[in-house]
Chain A
Amino acid sequence: MTGRPNTPGIVARDVCKSFGSHLVLDQVSLTADEGSILALLGPNGAGKTTMVRILSTLIGADSGSMQIAGHDVVSDPDGVRALIGVTGQFSAVDNLLTGAENLRLIADLRHLGRHAGQQRVAELLKQFDLADAADKLLSTYSGGMRRRLDLAMTLVGEPRVIFLDEPTTGLDPRSRLTMWEIVRQLAAAGVTILLTTQYLDEADQLADRIAVLDQGRIVAQGSPAELKSRIPGGHVRLHFAGPDLLGSAAGLLPAAAPDQDQLVLQVPDDGTVDSLRKMLDELHAARIDVERLSIHTPDLDDVFFAVTGSHVTDHPDRDPTPQGAPR
């Protein structure tokens, strides 16, 4: 440790970066307290990966200042490298080695020493449920196993600050939950985590603070609760067979907004079973038949619309898993 208590895990001030004439990061400032999780939320092309690459010493910024656990990224990159672990979007594993050999490689490069290295490797194999596959070549690993090994390799040196670039993109729902659990455990153990994500629910589930990045600018920053207070809540869309039914339903539910063309009534609702049941009972009692309904929970697009007034331009692939119910 640095011996300086309460040094923030990550501080970035006014970071700018251009590739050619394309401004990718425009005065980005971030702070993550030690042991906290900061989510960098934004669509593809917002600059999330570039920010991670700069903070993890892979590429230089054009201007701005950055400290990782008190070490300056520009003047002391090796000091930073000794403290961080990075898991990028593309698996950073060695395909011609076995799982155990991959971990051992990193242990040796972290200069853990033979005994401590072996111990750490065994520990991580167990922790990440890879012990059975330890001596198998990576070509036999599934996508989820590779992700777990990738993260295990990041953790070999017990980093104080971890960067996770879209850690759950492409994972099945089960592996995704496993990954969330690991991230929470790490933060509980005092590790500072910066994770990038395209999914509001992921940021909401994990992060202490969320910074929303849009076209290289931070457009909103705050706790999940603060951020969500700025977005309109979810709603339910009721579809009707005819305009008369729509009309009577609109009369029954005064907060709703009818759409005459599509015969849809949009009702503000948090999507809980209780409120849905209440609404449907009310409609049933008034003998208004609803053809079908769909529930809409707030997502990245709503956040964007709320903070920038425009929709996400580069639509990411939508989350393959159902959106978590808003809490």
Chain B
Amino acid sequence: MTTLAYTLSDSRVMLRRNLKHQLRYPSLTVMLVGMPIVLLLLFVYVFGGQLGAGLGAHLGRHAYLDYVVPGLLLITLASAVQGTSIMVAMDMTGGIIDRFRTMAIARASVLTGHVLGSLIQILVGFGVLIGVAFGLGFHSSAGILQWLAALGILVLFALALIWLAVALGLAAKSVETASNSPMILILLLFFSSGFVATATMPAGLRQFAEYQPFTPVADTVRGLLSGAAVGDHAIAAIAWSVGLIVVAYLWAISLYNRRGATEPK
């Protein structure tokens, strides 16, 4: 086999391991996929009536459902990468990572396995959430191309957050720390256009909301799914995603390579 074939084979083995972990540790997986559904119901049925009225006269719960679905897709994402950090930290604090590092396997395949596994989990989460949203009466005027474009934007952004979560998991000294650090992403999402229009926010917070990555991603996905124009939001969303992927990837790899160079115990 060639080096590339080995890399692919090792990554596939690591992916299978990651997926098995998700099945064997269902409490975490179910929590991470289930929480966005609970939030969807909460946002639509508890907050939805009032928040929908704010979208315009004669609009209500249903209009808010259409508005909030992109925000909840991003919640799915931000919540799933918490699991990524935990899984990576569990690997790094356990003894098995040293076994992998003393074997002639593709260096990054341990991380690639986590990244691909998380991506699959996120895609499943997206599917479940969209399914429930349609069940609640979600309406989209998007055609197949817009759906694919929206998925493309989400996957790109997902890779950015996953690599960030991998880096945070590597940087964490313990599994507990690793489970907390991605919480900032959820918070960041609330300070974006995920749940309410940034125009309704006070100055200062509004500027912050408009210039952080979650807003252009939410706006782009929302625009695509409602059949409206997406404009510059898409460019900003792609730029943020690609930029984050590069930075987080390099950070993660450097942390991974540096690990183990410290004094044992």
Question: Do A and B associate with each other?
Answer: yes
B126 to chain A, nearest CB (A): 25
Q: Does B145 contact A (CB under 8 A)?
A: no
| Interface-side segment among A88-96, A205-213, A319-327 | A88-96
Residues in chain B near residue A157, CB distance under 8 A: 103
B260 touches A96 (CB 8 A): no
B49 to chain A, nearest CB (A): 43
Q: Does B59 contact A (CB under 8 A)?
A: no
Q: Does A198 contact B (CB under 8 A)?
A: no
Residues in chain A near residue B9, CB distance under 8 A: 108, 111
B98 touches A19 (CB 8 A): no
Chain B residue nearest to A90 (CB atoms) is: B95
A22 to B264, CA, bound (A): 13
Chain A residue nearest to B91 (CB atoms) is: A94
Given the known A-B contacts A94-B17, A96-B25, A109-B13, are A59 and B96 also in contact in the complex, defined by CB atoms under 8 Å? no
Q: Does A8 contact B (CB under 8 A)?
A: no
Q: Does A84 contact B (CB under 8 A)?
A: yes
Given the known A-B contacts A50-B264, A97-B17, are A111 and B102 also in contact in the complex, defined by CB atoms under 8 Å? no
Q: Does A101 contact B (CB under 8 A)?
A: yes
A58 to chain B, nearest CB (A): 5
Q: Does B261 contact A (CB under 8 A)?
A: yes
A48 to B95, CA, bound (A): 17
A111 touches B6 (CB 8 A): yes
A7-40 vs B, Cβ < 8 Å mask (1 yes, 0 no): 0000000000001101010000000000000000
Q: Does B262 contact A (CB under 8 A)?
A: yes
Residues in chain A near residue B262, CB distance under 8 A: 19
A59 to B258, CA, bound (A): 9
B6 touches A88 (CB 8 A): no
B99 touches A86 (CB 8 A): yes
A residues contacting the other copy or chain, number (CB 8 A):
39
B102 touches A81 (CB 8 A): yes
A82 touches B104 (CB 8 A): yes
Q: Does B57 contact A (CB under 8 A)?
A: no
A92 touches B24 (CB 8 A): no
A220 to B21, CA, bound (A): 47
Residues in chain B near residue A82, CB distance under 8 A: 104
Q: Which of B1-26 contact A (CB under 8 A)?
A: 1, 6, 9-10, 13, 17, 20-21, 24-25
Q: Does A49 contact B (CB under 8 A)?
A: yes
B24 touches A97 (CB 8 A): yes
Q: Does B100 contact A (CB under 8 A)?
A: yes
A69 to chain B, nearest CB (A): 13
> Which of B25, B99, B104, B264 makes the CB contact (< 8 A) with A49?
B264
B99 touches A95 (CB 8 A): no
B58-77 vs A, Cβ < 8 Å mask (1 yes, 0 no): 00000000000000000000
B103 touches A110 (CB 8 A): yes
A71 to chain B, nearest CB (A): 11
Residue of A53, A110, A157 with most partner-chain B CB within 10 A: A53
A30 to B144, CA, bound (A): 67
Chain A residue nearest to B21 (CB atoms) is: A96
Given the known A-B contacts A19-B262, A97-B20, are A78 and B98 also in contact in the complex, defined by CB atoms under 8 Å? no
> Which of B20, B102, B105 makes the CB contact (< 8 A) with A58?
B102
B261 to chain A, nearest CB (A): 5
A137 touches B263 (CB 8 A): no
Q: Does A215 contact B (CB under 8 A)?
A: no
Given the known A-B contacts A59-B261, A60-B261, are A81 and B98 also in contact in the complex, defined by CB atoms under 8 Å? no
B231-243 vs A, Cβ < 8 Å mask (1 yes, 0 no): 0000000000000
> Which of B20, B96, B99, B101 makes the CB contact (< 8 A) with A101?
B20
B213 to chain A, nearest CB (A): 32
Residue of A90, A93, A96, A101 with most partner-chain B CB within 10 A: A96
A34 to chain B, nearest CB (A): 20
Residues in chain A near residue B24, CB distance under 8 A: 96-97, 137
Residue of B24, B94, B96, B262 with most partner-chain A CB within 10 A: B96
B106 to chain A, nearest CB (A): 9
Residues in chain A near residue B96, CB distance under 8 A: 92-94
Chain B residue nearest to A156 (CB atoms) is: B103
The interface of chain A, by Cβ under 8 A from chain B, is 19-20, 22, 24, 49-50, 53, 56-60, 78-79, 81-82, 84-86, 88, 90-97, 101, 105-106, 108-111, 137, 153-154, 157
18 contacts between A and B (CB under 8 A): A20-B263, A53-B260, A53-B264, A57-B101, A57-B102, A58-B101, A59-B260, A81-B102, A81-B104, A91-B95, A94-B17, A94-B96, A96-B21, A109-B103, A110-B103, A111-B1, A137-B24, A153-B99
Which 7 residue pairs spanning A and B have beta carbons closest together? A92-B99, A92-B95, A90-B95, A19-B263, A81-B104, A82-B104, A96-B24
- Besides the known contacts A90-B94, A92-B95, 5 further A-B residue pairs in the complex with CB atoms under 8 A apart: A59-B261, A78-B104, A92-B98, A96-B24, A109-B105
